[in-house]
Amino acid sequence: MSNTPTILKKILDRKVEEVAARRKVKSLKDFEQEFDRYEAPRGFTTAIEAKIAQQHSAVIAEIKKASPSKGVIRDPFIPQDIAISYEKHGAACLSVLTDADFFQGHEDYLIQARENVALPVIRKDFLIDAYQVAEARAIGADCVLLIASALDQPKMIDLHAQALEYGMDVLIEVHDDEEMSRALAIDNKLIGVNNRNLHTFEVSLQTTIDLKQMVDQDRILVTESGILAAEDVTLMRNHNIHAFLVGESFMRAPQPGEMLAELFGES
């Protein structure tokens, strides 16, 4: 944790402030009392497994307005229209950015996306506290992201257990072999490999290929970042990697769902 990249540390420091401010307005218990506003979580992992069983790519299609490095990526930004487009063109699941300060996201974007499709949705944010996991369930998230480089092992274990208790799935994200070892110590089906080096911001698909060697067949590896062309998809599939989280290349396309279908050959 002492080697936390500068940008990530900045985000995490802001998250501490954000959670403290939100607790003054609404408690974790308040969120737990709102869980029945939505039906039970839809089964994020199950949707991915179903696509792979059908010999299709399992695409977690991202809804993201902006990034810290690129600024605004999509304008106008209409989450429900993007979600409908993704569903029409074969996405397995959705990923919605809810971080406001660095990605111009919002919890309402997840709600708007999920209410207009039948796909399961992951809340993509920087979760550091039990409060955020309860909040995720209350806004209808079917899965949460836990980033290994943002959490020490006891905290990651605790947040993972809490998410499962709420009926959600978990995607644990790693960047290197040390984080992969920590992820594998937790009984969780989905492991995401972020191909972006958070120190240099360079992206290499070789990161996923190298780390896959550590993973048994009972896990599902999700490759994240750097899937830009059909040959990238082919490279991953040739290494028996069939789950993908893709965002920016879709967000820059006039019709994100059509870009998904073109990139993955889905219909």
Q: Which residue among the candidates 85, 95, 195, 225 is catalytic per the annotation?
A: 225
| Structure confidence at residue 3 (pLDDT) | 64
Instruction: Give yes or no: 124 in active site.
Output: yes
CB 61 within 8 A of CB 94: yes
Instruction: Give yes or no: 15 in active site.
Output: no
Dist. CA 68–CA 6, nearest whole Å: 12
The residue to which tokens 């993509």 are assigned:
124
Count of beta carbons in the 10 Å neighbourhood of residue 94: 28
CB 44 within 8 A of CB 53: no
Output 11-18 pairs: Cβ under 8 A, ≥24 positions apart: 11/68, 11/99, 11/101, 11/102, 11/126, 12/126, 12/128, 12/150, 14/101, 14/102, 15/126, 15/128, 15/129, 15/132, 16/128, 18/101
Instruction: Give yes or no: 87 in active site.
Output: no
Question: How many angstroms separate the Cα of 263 from the Cα of each of 82, 203, 227, 250?
Answer: 16, 19, 9, 9
The rounded mean pLDDT for the chain is 94
Counted residue by residue, the chain has a size of 267
Q: Which residue among the candidates 18, 87, 107, 224 is catalytic per the annotation?
A: 224
* pLDDT, average across residues 228-253: 94
CA nearest 173: which of 133, 242, 141, 221? 221
Instruction: Give yes or no: 262 in active site.
Output: no
Q: Which residue among the candidates 64, 95, 188, 212 is catalytic per the annotation?
A: 64
Instruction: Give yes or no: 224 in active site.
Output: yes
- DSSP label at 39? P
Q: Which residue among the candidates 51, 194, 195, 212 is catalytic per the annotation?
A: 194
Instruction: Give yes or no: 24 in active site.
Output: no
pLDDT digit string, tens, across residues 38-51? 889 999 999 999 99
Q: Is the peptide bond before 76 cis (omega within 30 degrees of 0)?
A: yes
Report domain extents, the chain: 6-264
Question: How many angstroms separate the Cα of 79 from the Cα of each of 67, 142, 143?
Answer: 16, 17, 18
- The neighbouring-strand residues paired with 144 are 123, 170
| Structure confidence at residue 267 (pLDDT) | 44
Instruction: Give yes or no: 173 in active site.
Output: yes
pLDDT band at 1 (very low <50, low <70, confident <90, very high): low
85 pLDDT more than 50: yes
Dist. CA 5–CA 151, nearest whole Å: 13
CATH of domain 6-264: 3.20.20.70
Q: Which residue among the candidates 18, 107, 173, 179 is catalytic per the annotation?
A: 173
Q: Which residue among the candidates 15, 51, 65, 124 is catalytic per the annotation?
A: 124
pLDDT band at 4 (very low <50, low <70, confident <90, very high): low
CB 207 within 8 A of CB 228: no
Count of beta carbons in the 10 Å neighbourhood of residue 251: 22
* pLDDT, average across residues 206-210: 97
pLDDT digit string, tens, across residues 7-16? 888 999 999 9
Dist. CA 204–CA 108, nearest whole Å: 33
- What is the token pair recorded at 173? 């994200």
- What is the token pair recorded at 48? 């991915």
CA nearest 63: which of 44, 90, 85, 41? 85
Q: Which residue among the candidates 51, 57, 62, 107 is catalytic per the annotation?
A: 62
